[in-house]
């Protein structure tokens, strides 16, 4: 009886997981950008953006494509307590993406993507937890922004076409 129950459980596990599809596609193998792109990053949080972008693209020196990213981070206090301290802070990242074709010496696309998140700060003296949550939120914000750009790239049919030819 116990063996039958084990087989039934295994059957349902295999049957239930047989059609799993991943929703986040980070595959640029069929893209002309794969192993054919150089990445330049300017602005705020360059090290985080560099790490996240370079995990999605295989970079090559002297490539046919150049992706230039300019970032700007803004922090705004949304809720201010009676003692003048901020308890809710909005962090916004605005990343401008410029994709250029060096072979044809032209711009392919220019895209500005903004992403925002809020976090609650604790202002009773120095709070290590607030700094950690702000850093995690910052990384999550940048990762989401880059994922939006990659999804936008997936929708473009011809990356060899210059933007002034459209």
Write the CATH number for 82: 3.30.160.150
Look at residue 96 in the predicted model and tell me its pLDDT.
96
What's the sign of the alpha-carbon dihedral 72, 64, 155, 157?
Answer: positive
65 within a domain of the structure (yes/no) = yes
Distance of CA 41 to the CA centre of its chain: 14
Residue 16, pLDDT above cutoff 80:
no
91 near 134, Cβ under 8 Å? yes
Eight-class DSSP state of 50: H
Q: How confident is the model at residue 128 (pLDDT cuts 50, 70, 90)?
A: very low
| Mean pLDDT score, 5-34 | 66
Cα–Cα dist 35/107, whole Å: 19
pTM higher than 0.75: no
8 within a domain of the structure (yes/no) = no
49 within a domain of the structure (yes/no) = yes
Residue 29, pLDDT above cutoff 50:
no
Interaxial angle between packed helices 128-154 and 46-54, expressed in degrees from 0 to 180 and rounded to the nearest 10 = 40
- Residue 160, domain extent: 42-165
Q: Count of domains in the chain?
A: 1
Look at residue 71 in the predicted model and tell me its pLDDT.
93
State residue 125 phi and psi, 5-degree precision.
80, -165
Helix (H) or strand (E) holding 68: strand 65-80
Residue 77, pLDDT above cutoff 50:
yes
Look at residue 117 in the predicted model and tell me its pLDDT.
83
4 within a domain of the structure (yes/no) = no
34 within a domain of the structure (yes/no) = no
Which two structure tokens, joined as six digits, stand for 55? Answer: 């995990």
5 within a domain of the structure (yes/no) = no
Which two structure tokens, joined as six digits, stand for 71? Answer: 């970032």
12 within a domain of the structure (yes/no) = no
Assign residue 72 a region (left: φ > 0; alpha: ψ between -120 and 50; beta: otherwise).
beta
14 within a domain of the structure (yes/no) = no
Helix (H) or strand (E) holding 87: strand 86-101
């Amino acid at each position: 009886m116990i063996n039958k129950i084990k087989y039934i459980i295994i059957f349902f596990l295999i049957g239930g997981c047989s059609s799993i599809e991943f929703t986040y596609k980070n595959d640029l193998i069929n893209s002309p950008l794969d192993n054919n792109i150089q990445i330049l990053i300017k602005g705020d949080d360059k090290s985080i953006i560099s790490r996240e972008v370079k995990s999605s693209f295989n970079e090559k020196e002297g490539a046919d494509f150049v992706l230039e990213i300019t970032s700007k981070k803004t922090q705004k206090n949304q809720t201010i307590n009676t003692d003048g301290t901020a308890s809710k802070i909005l962090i916004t990242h605005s990343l401008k993406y410029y994709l250029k074709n060096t072979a044809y010496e032209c711009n392919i696309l220019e895209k500005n993507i903004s992403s925002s998140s809020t976090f609650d700060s604790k202002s009773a003296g120095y709070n290590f937890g607030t700094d950690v949550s702000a850093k995690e939120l910052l990384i999550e914000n940048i990762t989401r922004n880059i994922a939006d750009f990659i999804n936008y790239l997936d929708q473009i049919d011809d990356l060899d076409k210059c933007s002034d030819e459209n």
